[in-house]
Amino acid sequence: MNITEMTALELGAKIKSGEIKAPDAARAVLDEIKKKDPYYSGGINAYIITLENEAIKRAEEVQAMIDAGELEDSPLAGVPIAIKDNICTKGMKTTCASKILGDFKPPYNATVIEKLNAAGAVIIGKLNMDEFAMGSTGETSFYGETKNPWNHERVTGGSSSGAAAAVAACEAPCALGSDTGGSIRQPASFCGVTGMKPTYGAVSRYGLIAYASSLDQIGPVAKDAADCAAILDIICGKDEMDGTSLDVEHKSYLDSLSGDVSGLKIGIPRQCFGDGLNADVKAAVLGVAETLKSKGAETEEFDMPLIDYAVPTYYIIAAAEASSNLSRFDGVKYGFRADGFEDLTDLYMKTRSEGFGEEVKRRIMLGTFALSTGYYDAYYKKALQVKALIKKVFDEAYEKYDIILFPAAPTTAPKMGESLSDPLKMYLSDIYTVSVNLAGLPGISVPCGFDKDGMPIGAQLVGAPLGDSVILNAAFAYQQLTDHHKKPAEKFGKEAE
């Protein structure tokens, strides 16, 4: 098998056994990126920056450590990994796919990067995304849209567009994304890869450039659930630098994968399978329940009220927090500064007008409005109240079920350009993902089939708070019985022709 087609764990095992050398793995991935990614020759554009020399040098160092008998307990030592470009990497440009960050090079690493380094992973590049993680299609990047490897005319989903596309196109064995309202799970679903948002607080946010701090969470994007478990094992844990990170004892996520789902109670919320859901998506997602049932899981339909309120609630809270978080980009401290300003106010205005894209400005204005005196109670406070109610609905469901199953998105990947003209339509397409962030729950999207045009479909398994290993195990069990996650996008596309 070609190096770039292996899962991260397969590659890690071969590096450990000496069959493949870490620098060769890095070179193979970099070659694939050169072949498939360049934007100006019509490539996928999953990467904003590739770290050619740094990655090879680092792979050589890791190989020397492996040869010296170090990193024995690390299943991903020497494995290349790509990082969404809103995660700070010391001394390496970090852009959030925005003009406003210019050539900003963070003076520190995010905690997840420190942890990946300690585990011997090799960072291969920084991934494209919607600007400041705001978007559901990957089209709002200052660095150009990312193309869906299954069909270049379709979007990848967003905002972790590069993460999902890079893994789907075998331009990275695995990646880190971030998920505020679906940004890992929805692009994973559109690109036919596996993506997980851990429980809020399971992974440190230190060094993740904030969008909506109470919802943001870093998580893995990979070919399968076992890879996601291996990555989560590395990046999770309490961090003094993030007061919201959780201190919980748990077994290794990877070691907990038994594939045993007998007696697992799966709830299927009726409200998530009604109007507006594409028929192919509905059939494929319900098929997941049937497959898990054949292994002894039990399924039941139930009512999940309030789900219709999730999108408006999310967009008020996310925009409000974003308007505050993004106030630090003022032309003084970071990256880009506009020319020709007259005074300080003019500097702020010119820099922010020129530096932010349309969608980011829309969110800042919406958020500022929702937080302003007179409207705070009517919008922001109300949204927080509904958020609490949504959490309660989930809490009640988890008294009966171990997992809740619904789609990651109502459709497969739309055509490029369709959503940009109608932002409200784009927001509504987040219906299945945002409630999971509002309730702080873990969710994973697993490939579960294809629509009539051959585009991938993702099913979402959502767990109780800290039920990360429960959803990983259910996803793992499902992937042992199916092969939707094994079809590399472009190869499959060619075979299908």
Question: What is the binding site for ligand GLN (CB under 6 A)?
Answer: 133-136, 159, 179-183, 211, 318, 430
The C-alpha atoms of residue 125 and residue 157 are separated, in whole angstroms, by 20
Which residue number, 142 or 211, has a Cβ lying nearer to ligand GLN?
211
Residue 390 in tokens: 């949504």
Residue 346 in tokens: 């003019």
The C-alpha atoms of residue 392 and residue 476 are separated, in whole angstroms, by 28
Residue 130 in tokens: 């919607």
Residue 183 is among the residues annotated as catalytic for this protein? yes
Catalytic, out of 136, 141, 178, 183: 183
Closest contact distance (angstroms) between CB of 17 and ligand GLN is 38
CA distances from 170 to 44, 191, 219, 450 (A): 11, 12, 19, 19
Rounded to 10°, the helix 8-17/225-235 angle is: 70
Rounded to 10°, the helix 358-371/310-325 angle is: 100
Which residue number, 178 or 469, has a Cβ lying nearer to ligand GLN?
178
- Which among 491, 404, 414, 425 has a CA at the least distance from the CA of 451? 414
Closest contact distance (angstroms) between CB of 83 and ligand GLN is 15
User: Which residues have C-beta within 8 Å of that of residue 180, sequence separation ≥ 6?
Assistant: 133, 159, 211, 212, 215, 216, 217, 318, 437
Closest contact distance (angstroms) between CB of 128 and ligand GLN is 14
Residue 189 is among the residues annotated as catalytic for this protein? no
The identity of residue 348, as a single letter, is Y
Of all residues in the shown chain, the one whose CB is closest to ligand GLN is 183
DSSP for 105-125, written as a single string:
--SS--HHHHHHHHTT-EEEE
Which residue number, 227 or 430, has a Cβ lying nearer to ligand GLN?
430
Residue 160 is among the residues annotated as catalytic for this protein? no
Catalytic, out of 14, 21, 36, 84: 84
> Burial, 306: exposed, middle or buried (Cβ in 10 Å; 0-12, 13-18, 19+)?
middle
Catalytic residue numbers read 84, 159, 183
